[in-house]
A = this chain, B = another copy of it.
């Protein structure tokens, strides 16, 4: 896997093949819907849908691309912190192109937009959304980047901004470093001169993962088994300072391992629980080292910070346009959704699958 392959190219898309007034599409709009919770492959159905009449503060969007994120799967299964109102359309992230905007919306036709909140249902060819639920995408951002920037890289940005006062040369540590969030954390940290210690599960293709994370700027990349050993302790002792921040998307013993490396007054932030086990943090770390353990959920942050969402995205778009933030994605056509959903849940995979609607 070479650097060039990181930039999966999408078919460039043209102006939508639908008339903007009255909305008459060439083919009927479709959506991946579910009427009950369960295994995505069983409950999702690709169906023809009717679009509602556009209201003054609404925007008609033709979707271009939308990723399959773990939270999308959990939401369909009904095990997520946010329950969808059924029937619902899958997907929480994606990029679309404005076909028509109501008079109270400032969006213009052909402008690219992404959701600013969770729960819009992005796995569909067309949608009518509230103006306030969309954010503008600057020109020149490729669709696969725009489609995948608002959840995982946005989470990475908040994790780095909101939990520690990180300065150039400071260290952070993270587990699940090959996840989409972890991959973004490495690059955002690198752009600021923050050093990263990256833990990944041991696996068949470990060398490849090591190479990929190192190539985008990971300073230390080791397996979770290495984290437990004496060599890692020596590695830590050789660092000029201990990590101020530990980012956990795994839980269980992996969280224990990264929490133990924290400097006094350091913070452990849990933003996922891939092992399905709670993070175990020894009592002595809380009492004697004053470690804090917090959680982060972008959905809630977005709801509570409507005024900061565009700014957060602009920071990421800028890094993308400077080639400092890459994503690691592959494309599947909407009609291949069943295989794509199954593929996205395979063990040890970390290449994001993006559904394409064109």
Contacts and interface: CB of A to CB of B under 8 A. Distances in A.
A300 interface: yes
Interface stretch (A113-121, A267-275, A350-358): A267-275
Nearest to A79: B284
A280 B289 CA distance: 18
Given A278-B281, A278-B283, A295 B290 contact: yes
Given A291-B295, A292-B292, A297-B290, A280 B283 contact: no
Contact of A297 (B278, B281, B282, B287): B287
A81 B287 contact: yes
Given A278-B281, A295-B291, A286 B300 contact: no
A297 B284 CA distance: 10
Contact of A286 (B280, B285, B293): B293
Given A278-B283, A280-B278, A81 B295 contact: no
A279 B283 contact: yes
A288 interface: yes
A291 B278 CA distance: 14
B283 A273 contact: yes
A294 interface: yes
A187 B225 CA distance: 48
Interface string A275-317: 0001111111111111111111100100000000000000000
A122 B324 CA distance: 60
Contacts of A291: 295
A289 B300 CA distance: 9
A256 to B, nearest CB: 8
A271 B286 CA distance: 8
A277 to B, nearest CB: 8
A143 interface: no
20 contacts: A81-B284, A81-B288, A251-B283, A270-B283, A270-B286, A273-B283, A273-B287, A278-B280, A278-B281, A278-B283, A280-B280, A281-B293, A285-B295, A286-B295, A287-B295, A287-B297, A289-B295, A290-B295, A292-B294, A292-B295
